[in-house]
Amino acid sequence: MAKVPLILLASSFLYAQILTNPVQDYINKTTLLNNILSNMRAIELSQKAQNGGKVEKSKPEAQLVKPTEFIHSGSALLPSKIAARTGPQSQQYLTGLISLYEQTARKDGFSPHDLAYALEYFVVNSYMTYHDLHDVEYAKDPRVKRGKDMFDRLTIINEKKTLKVTLYQERAVYQQFKATLGSNAAVLHMTDQQKQEVTELLAITFGVNFKAYMDAVNREDDRAIELARQQARANLEKLTGSPIERIKISASGIQL
């Protein structure tokens, strides 16, 4: 049996340590995050999705100040706070997860300094993780490997293309969050720093699990892949208040 490289073992330990301790502590203690991610918010999103993605207009003054957006402080806020508990070696890693989030936002035409996009990023990409929809090497693709033969595997890879979340669908989810959060009293009273911290928290929470998933896929560790998928499931269910089987993403946005 081949030995797992020491660097992968260390990385896996770091992922688990960060995900189950300081980040989870931040989630549990961030009452603002709990307020804006309450089941009532999820119900509103579901109702709006069922109405064809139509949302009520925010008050003119709320639209003017764009309540989900924030002025960035100029540097990341959470990595140093979390690293104080996990060790200095994790600060660069955590900063890298925030950079991944920012790069993805800009590549897809979104502002990274927007709480609505941070939620969309978290939801859509966690959904992709749970359903094995990320772009990975064909020979290591968890979905493809479930195929019984070559014909079955080709069918699976074509199906995967149709199931992947499109940029158009992402924008629909973003608009849902933009409208819902824009009329949320908790969001309206958040400071720029608080919005940035919640944004970074979402980027880090997803990023830790995404890195764990991709590393597991690359080393073809089925058990670790499943652990990452189930973590994505738990994250989505906690955030939306809906079981994973009911969470769907389509051209009209997220449906719960």
Q: pLDDT tens-digit profile of 162-178?
A: 999 999 999 999 998 89
pLDDT at 188: 84
Residues 102-160 pLDDT 10s: 999 999 999 999 999 999 999 999 999 999 999 999 999 999 999 998 899 999 999 99
Write down the residue that tokens 């693709």 correspond to. Answer: 141
**Average of per-residue pLDDT across 40-47:** 51
Write down the residue that tokens 């995050």 correspond to. Answer: 33
pLDDT at 136: 95
| pLDDT(61) > 80 | no
CA separation, residue 185 to residues 176, 189, 200 (Å) = 16, 6, 21
Contact 203, 81 (CB under 8 A): no
Contact 124, 173 (CB under 8 A): yes
Among 212, 208, 62, which Cα is nearest to 200's? 208
Structure tokens that stand for 194 in this block: 């608080």
The alpha carbons of the chain give a radius of gyration, in whole angstroms, of 19
| Alpha carbons within 13 A on the beta-carbon side of 211 | 22
pLDDT class of 241 with cuts at 50, 70, 90: confident
Among 237, 197, 148, which Cα is nearest to 26's? 197
C-alpha to C-alpha distance for 81 and 100, rounded to whole angstroms: 19
| pLDDT(17) > 50 | no
pLDDT at 108: 95
Show the 3-state SS of 77-143. CHHHHHHHHHCCHHHHHHHHHHHHHHHHHHHCCCCCCEHHHHHHHHHHHHHHHHCCCCCCCHHHCCC
**Average of per-residue pLDDT across 33-39:** 55
Among 204, 118, 185, which Cα is nearest to 212's? 204
pLDDT at 40: 40
User: 89 or 34: whose pLDDT is higher?
Assistant: 89
pLDDT class of 83 with cuts at 50, 70, 90: confident
- Of 3-12, 177-186, 214-223, the least confident: 3-12
